[in-house]
A and B are shown apart, each in its own frame.
Chain A
Amino acid sequence: AQSVTQLGSHVSVSEGALVLLRCNYSSSVPPYLFWYVQYPNQGLQLLLKYTSAATLVKGINGFEAEFKKSETSFHLTKPSAHMSDAAEYFCAVREKSSGDKLTFGTGTRLAVRP
């Protein structure tokens, strides 16, 4: 069975600081991995996805994530936080063994301090 764990339900950074949101998955085979973002009063939208073409994946709004098989991790980073990055971020995994269901982590709420 697949699962995804996001460490830290709340992360606070200063504007201009590095953003690091952690995601670890448990899977016997490399799954399909995604990061979604949810802005207040909105649905989720895709930030980026791991497609096995490259371990470093670049997404929208300057975010990127690195797939590390040895650590079963897919952490999300952004070099310099902007006020508009304040939102909730969800790591998600999809695996055939679970019927292709998309399983989400519990989310990390990012606050950006001026």
Chain B
Amino acid sequence: KAGVTQTPRYLIKTRGQQVTLSCSPISGHRSVSWYQQTPGQGLQFLFEYFSETQRNKGNFPGRFSGRQFSNSRSEMNVSTLELGDSALYLCASSFIGGTGYEKLFFGSGTQLSVL
């Protein structure tokens, strides 16, 4: 079974631009979560999608948005990029939505650099 796939692996953008990141979950998984990882803040939860609906949201500004398609693939969009958005963005998938003891399966991430 293929793992969680994130594309692209690396991105370089300039301030003010927007960016879209993609995540393909493990086949059969219906939940996709997004995390931002930075050296200073660690892993911060962005949002979770389940069956095309946003089920949970972290404390990020509205510039960060996402969506999920009927095949469970998910995209994350960041508009009006700021220098502080430079981070590793990790996507994780799970079967029923990351509740209780269920574990998450992570992709290798997209490294975003904002210049």
CB distance from B48 to the nearest CB of A (A): 7
Q: Does B81 have its Cβ within 8 Å of any Cβ on chain A?
A: no
Residues of chain A lying within 8 A (CB to CB) of residue B98: 94, 100, 102
Q: Does A51 have its Cβ within 8 Å of any Cβ on chain B?
A: yes
Instruction: From B13-21, B60-68, B71-79, B99-107, give the one contacting chain A.
Output: B99-107
Contact B56 A44 (CB under 8 A): no
| A25→B51 CA distance, assembly (Å) | 31
* Main DSSP-derived SS at the B contact region: loop
- In the complex where A41-B108, A43-B106, A101-B58 touch, is A94 in contact with B45 (Cβ < 8 A)? no
CB distance from B39 to the nearest CB of A (A): 9
Contact B43 A104 (CB under 8 A): yes
Q: Does A99 have its Cβ within 8 Å of any Cβ on chain B?
A: yes
| A106→B43 CA distance, assembly (Å) | 7
Interface size on A, residues (CB 8 A): 22
Top 10 nearest A-B pairs (CB, nearest first) are A43-B106, A106-B42, A104-B43, A46-B103, A44-B106, A100-B99, A43-B108, A51-B101, A43-B107, A99-B56
Q: Does A28 have its Cβ within 8 Å of any Cβ on chain B?
A: no
Residues of chain B lying within 8 A (CB to CB) of residue A94: 98-100
Q: Can you list 9 pairs linking A and B with CB atoms under 8 Å apart? A: A44-B92, A44-B104, A45-B105, A94-B99, A100-B97, A100-B99, A101-B56, A102-B98, A105-B42
| A6→B56 CA distance, assembly (Å) | 25
Q: Does A70 have its Cβ within 8 Å of any Cβ on chain B?
A: no
| A106→B38 CA distance, assembly (Å) | 10
Interface centre among A49, A99, A102, A103 (most CB of B within 10 A): A102
Contact A102 B106 (CB under 8 A): no
Residues of chain B lying within 8 A (CB to CB) of residue A43: 4, 90, 92, 106-109
Complex interface bits, A97-114 against B, C-beta within 8 A gives 1, otherwise 0: 001111111110000000
Q: Does B33 have its Cβ within 8 Å of any Cβ on chain A?
A: yes
Q: A100-B98, A106-B41 are in contact. List 18 more A-B contacts (CB 8 A).
A: A41-B108, A43-B4, A43-B107, A43-B108, A43-B109, A44-B90, A44-B104, A45-B106, A49-B101, A49-B103, A90-B42, A90-B43, A99-B56, A101-B56, A101-B58, A105-B42, A107-B42, A107-B43
